[in-house]
Chains A and B, each alone.
Chain A
């Protein structure tokens, strides 16, 4: 009983602290462009978290913010590739193996295709290719995740979800440039 009470109190304190932290951060630390840009994305908090991770966001214009977001997609996609290699031990069933191979091809496309063309599009000032790349990254992540439906628990849910959401954020930022 005592243990439960303590856990509940701890939980409340943690929740309050997390919100307090993020609230104070948004009041004091984030540049106005970051805040307004993130408000126009489907995942406001995630957008803030992603952009905050780069020191460049302090002085960035929208092109640079878009590049930071694309960079975050790249990081997650690389994590996905690592996770796929770890999960593959051999001995998994034919269907799971097929799903994993699918995911490997998917993230290959995300890195070699989507991220590549998004970075070029942004650097060279033809943002429509960047939008196409990020829109495709969302589809690809869903595609990897969907491969496990009815086959088994997806070992990549977290990273697929991350790629999906961050790519949506990136795409929304890029739309400001068109």
Chain B
């Protein structure tokens, strides 16, 4: 090409070419150069003096606050912070601070992460994020829950773990035990990638307790050629209640991808259940093109398997099904059931984690054990296109049957939503949700209810009651609670009847959705109202958890339960989404929510667990001021009456 390329290749141009050449100059030029240098120095000196004068006479009399790095614990005043941010984003202006009667202020931070400006994360801010009562290892990366079970008096929990760092990799099985699902003792790694069939990762698996009480574990291994296979493992000593040592079956793998299934689409075997022929049956999620499927295998001994024709269930356009789960729920008892149970008044849940959107979906249906066929109750909300366990950050979840207290218990991986840089700096990543019980919702008949296990209530301290607090339209009420980083909140809300009747219907908010709305700042006639958690004193940072009631043209009410992260943090390298969904509210039911606040995680439950939202929150002001909690009502029309109980939560013992 005869002409120079006017479009230089990406970033290989040297951006800091020196200004002055280094060739020797003639004496006359050198004198001129000397004069030039002297003048330059004089000018620099003048500028320096001027800057010093400006510095001394400006602002609050001290140096302007600029973040200097991770050890900087100096706490900026709200004014200093807004000036710092305004200087870097002049078009956004200063976040306005509103008092008690002016309602929740307009959003002042961009939604999402566009135009991220790094917030100086100090060590103190990052250290605050570690939770008080949620399961997490002492350091490093964690993801999926594995093989949860109750055995010889102990709850066991295994999990995907990287022993070497705070990002996914070198995946092994961490292990911990507990008597109460809340206080945990960490044990040595149960399994590490040390065989050709799992050398690239000891991935997710499930436990089955046999009729004689013996325990087997099936798990996915990523082989030395990156093929996904299923392997069998069992305790080295079945009489050891702590199940410390594990043995891998000598003839692993027991299952390899069948014809028609790709090497990378075959993982996460379930707990087995007994068929009428007294065989053990499992399902494994996969996909064919874009159809998510669940393959079915029968076995007598967990060593040899027969693959069934067809699948347990499949749904087009859902993509890869990860971490599938299958279990019965009673339509008449508020109890869990052993995985093998079936009969009248029993429904079966099929659940999958969708790789495509990183959410956990479930559907209720009927399982015909004889035919081995599961049929959804409502195909329009089939697996993967309907209900979610949780409308926030919640993935790879797995249940087990707790024989001791007859409960079906759900574990779930809660990832970080901050930057990887922060994860590496703080040396850890990911949490597990507080285990939840699952029961069928007998009132609606169309969903399950989740609720934190009762044992978590043992951490409650110092109950404070707020009875019938009136919150007029457009107001914020501070709640006098000391130390609000770890809380358990139970709240009920009543909307004044007149406002409900009065609400004019022009259809404008019948298309409301938590995700697409303006969050807590978007005012409707009957919402939003709720709580502001992890809030800073002047509401610079706040995480609203709220209800929003809309009315359609036919006069039907629809209630939304949302969590708004758009102003949860001044940092711009964290997720700022708004999560939530509609929640069924039956006639004469009071609106209620329960919120577990535990530093950088918030778990919110609407209407007794009919709709759940798990959030990760990374406030910055916690480095310098106490976190606060407020009631708010940003509706334009309705008066709200709230009654709450708030407990401080002690930290669990997890070591």
Contact = CB atoms under 8 A, between A and B. Distances in A.
Interface of A: 10-11, 13-14, 17-18, 63, 76, 79-80, 83, 86-87, 94-95, 98, 101-102, 105-106, 108-110, 112-114, 116-117, 120-121, 123-129, 133, 136, 138-140, 142-144, 146-147, 149-150, 155-156, 158-159, 162, 178
Contact of B419 (A10, A112, A140): A140
Given A98-B69, A110-B420, A123-B200, 18 more contacts: A17-B1, A79-B12, A98-B68, A105-B421, A112-B165, A112-B167, A124-B226, A126-B203, A126-B222, A136-B420, A139-B113, A140-B420, A140-B421, A142-B116, A146-B88, A147-B117, A149-B88, A149-B117
A123 B224 CA distance: 11
Q: Which of A95, A126, A127, A144 has the most CB of B within 10 A?
A: A126
Interface stretch (B2-10, B147-155, B398-406, B489-497): B2-10
A121 B15 contact: no
A100 B264 CA distance: 40
B419 A146 contact: no
Contacts of B200: 123-124
A38 B222 CA distance: 29
Contacts of B320: 178
A146 B118 contact: yes
Q: How large is the interface on B (under 10, 10 to 19, 20 to 34, 35 or more residues)?
A: 35 or more
B572 interface: yes
Contacts of A87: 15-16
A76 B11 contact: yes
A17 B115 CA distance: 35
B13 interface: yes
Contacts of A162: 10-11
A11 B5 CA distance: 10
Contacts of B265: 125
B118 A143 contact: yes
B424 A108 contact: yes
Nearest to B572: A146
Interface in B568-599: 572-573
Interface in B246-304: 262-265, 267
Interface in B419-475: 419-421, 423-425
Contacts of A178: 319-320, 355-356
A101 B69 CA distance: 9
Interface of B: 1, 3, 6-7, 10-16, 66-69, 87-89, 113-118, 120, 165-169, 200-201, 203, 222, 226, 228, 262-265, 267, 319-320, 355-356, 358, 419-421, 423-425, 572-573
Nearest to B162: A117
30 contacts: A11-B6, A79-B11, A80-B11, A87-B16, A95-B66, A98-B120, A102-B118, A102-B120, A105-B425, A109-B419, A109-B420, A113-B420, A113-B424, A114-B420, A120-B168, A121-B168, A124-B201, A125-B222, A125-B226, A125-B228, A125-B262, A125-B263, A125-B265, A127-B264, A140-B573, A142-B113, A143-B419, A146-B88, A147-B118, A158-B13
Contacts of B67: 98
A172 to B, nearest CB: 14
Contacts of A139: 113, 116, 419, 573
Contact of A86 (B16, B116, B423): B16
Interface SS of chain B: helix, strand, loop or mixed? Answer: loop
Q: Which of B16, B168, B222, B421 has the most CB of A within 10 A?
A: B421
Contact of B167 (A116, A155, A159): A116
Given A87-B16, A144-B118, A127 B355 contact: yes
Nearest to B421: A109
A146 B117 contact: yes
A150 B118 CA distance: 12
A148 B344 CA distance: 66
A156 B10 CA distance: 12
A123 B226 contact: yes
Nearest to A21: B1
Q: Which 10 A-B pairs have the closest CB atoms?
A: A125-B264, A109-B421, A146-B117, A113-B420, A159-B11, A142-B116, A158-B11, A149-B88, A150-B88, A150-B87
A105 B121 CA distance: 12
A158 B167 contact: no
A56 to B, nearest CB: 17
Contact of B421 (A94, A116, A143): A143
Contacts of A18: 7
Nearest to B287: A178
Nearest to B228: A125
Given A76-B10, A79-B12, A143-B573, A117 B168 contact: yes
Contact of B222 (A124, A147, A156): A124
A161 B89 CA distance: 19
A120 B169 contact: yes
Contact of A129 (B12, B168, B423): B168
Q: Which of A76, A116, A142 has the most CB of B within 10 A?
A: A142
A43 to B, nearest CB: 12
Contacts of A110: 420
Contact of A117 (B114, B116, B169): B169
B228 to A, nearest CB: 6
B113 to A, nearest CB: 5
Contacts of B68: 94, 98
